[in-house]
Amino acid sequence: MAASALLTGSPWLRMRLLPDAPARPFRHLHLRRSFSVRASGADGSPAPVRVRFAPSPTGNLHVGGARTALFNYLFARSKGGRFVLRVEDTDLERSTRKSEEAVLADLAWLGLDWDEGPDVGGDFGPYRQSERNSLYKQYAEKLLDSGAVYRCFCSSEELEQMKEVAKQRQLPPVYMGKWASASDAEVQQELEKGTPYTYRFRVPKEGSLKISDLIRGEVSWNLDTLGDFVIMRSNGQPVYNFCVTVDDATMQISHVIRAEEHLPNTLRQALIYKALGFAMPSFAHVSLILAPDRSKLSKRHGATSVGQYKNMGYLPQAMVNYLALLGWGDGTENEFFTIDDLGTVTLNFGAISFAVQKFTINRVNKSGAVFDATKLKWMNGQHLRSFPHDELIKAFEDRWTDTGILQESESGFAKEAAELLKDGIDLITDADAALTNLLSYPLHTTLSSEEAKPVVQDKISEVAWSLISAYDSGELGQALAEGRDGWQKWVKGFGKSIKRKGKGLFMPLRVLLTGKLHGPDMGGSIALIHKAGVCCAVTPQSNFVTLDERFRMLKDVDWESLAKEQETPAVPAAAS
């Protein structure tokens, strides 16, 4: 669709590129000393909501970018608006199609489906900046014709000299305006010589500009601190702030929700809006995501990209939930949300039901939010365990089979293992370690540990020989064959026979049978270990130690020597 049609054909926004009357040089236009503008329809009514997320495909999708995308998505959905995806790939040296595909894949994984974009199309395309150069040149020429911009023939050396002079005078490093007042003859002379030139925007030398930021309130700038800035480079490539303004205006973006680091760009963009006769969108600048030390979150703090968390086993539901809470809350103690919850909430009053906005921009905090990886992992566990029961069991089973811990089996082992271990697993990838840990038997390491000393000193050898006897007689094996119920019945009788109960019974039994001091329910653990030995569901790489092997190890322990070692006080390092 032609750019002019995009601008004039809209039912809600009439954007006049230039006055119908002959253009006057911009330096003669009257500019109020202070001005602010906002988006509205042709009839003064609020513009339909259109928001955009505009990633640069020069790397992975950072969690900060993902949160910005999420806030845009939620705002659009809560307002019944459109969520636009635009790829800002004007950095030709660093932008790659592979990076673009990765960013889009991460956004799709999070569930942020866009209404318009490079892969789905739309009425306001193209949706890649690299495909919109003719549009930028068209508007640059219009600004040149109106006098809003001028050709600047300064060399790199001259610009560096200006910076040095400004530095010596303790002034901001702004352009001194050498070519701002050049005559037509001087310009024509440089054109005939073929001197390279940029397009510079003519900034008023006095006055101020202010915007009403939806998060930060009123923000203002003095225009004399800016200086004339470049909108088109000498190689014909447009500058970021010019591209963004043209794109947001021609795509009829009503609200620009972005990171606070873009706040300084707003001044340049607002001036371009004004010069082209575009209505300004509403702005909302979101705080940065901070590391625990309150510095800007970066790679030195660990994983920072969505793709990394995806590969680590995090769920998209948990990422969305946690990112939404970084700087936003619904005003309650509730922290558990799905993406649908965040968009709208349905209220029912008898036979009448209606949806209300859950996510609102006025509840976004303007202070920085700290990224807590521990809380994210906890939240992932909450979402994982909220899966329907059958789906959760299947997820664990598929994981164990894919990683080679389990063999295909109809024994029901995987289901029992998932039931036993699920409450201690926050990441699906942690399921591997949870199961292999259950199947392992680090008896000697545990017995020689400082933590096991009270258990060993409580005559563990007596429990061990009685347990060995019960196993050799077949009594314990028969009980375990009956599952957890068989175990509970047996352990009750065993405790009576050796006159032990409670911790004095179960702690030594846990150490002797599992080789560990801690773990999930012991009855379920022992029943599962027994089942693994008879159903052949686990592979050799699971490091499984069978009950037969465990009891052989118990018989080989020199219990008398072990007890003496544990009774001997540790020798201080200095004395030794």
Q: Tell me the C-alpha distance between 371 and 308, whole Å.
A: 15
Q: What is the sign, positive or negative, of the torsion defined by CA atoms of 438, 441, 442, 443?
A: positive
For residue 41, give the amino acid letter: G
- In the numeric block, which tokens belong to residue 160? 């560096």
184's CB contacts (< 8 A; 6+ apart) are none
Q: Which amino acid is at 298?
A: S
**Cβ pair 419, 390 in contact under 8 A:** no
Which residues have CB under 8 Å from 551's CB, separation 6+? 468, 471, 472
String of DSSP letters for 62-80 = BHHHHHHHHHHHHHHHHHT
Contact 413, 419 (CB under 8 A): no
Q: How far apart are CA 391 and CA 299, in angstroms?
A: 34
Return the active site residues. 299
- Helix 483-497 to helix 503-514 angle (10° resolution) is 120
CB hemisphere CA count around 536 (13 angstroms): 0
Helix (H, G, I), strand (E, B) or coil at 235: coil
Torsion, CA 271, CA 6, CA 258, CA 132, rounded to 10: -90
What is the separation, in whole angstroms, between the first and last Cα of the chain?
86
Among residues 543, 527, 511, which one has the least CA distance to residue 444? Answer: 511
**Block residue for tokens 């447009």:** 238
**Closest to 494 in 3D by CA, of 516, 462, 537:** 462
d(CA 351, CA 346): 13
Q: 430-439 and 413-421 are packed helices; what angle lies between their axes, rounded to 10 degrees?
A: 110
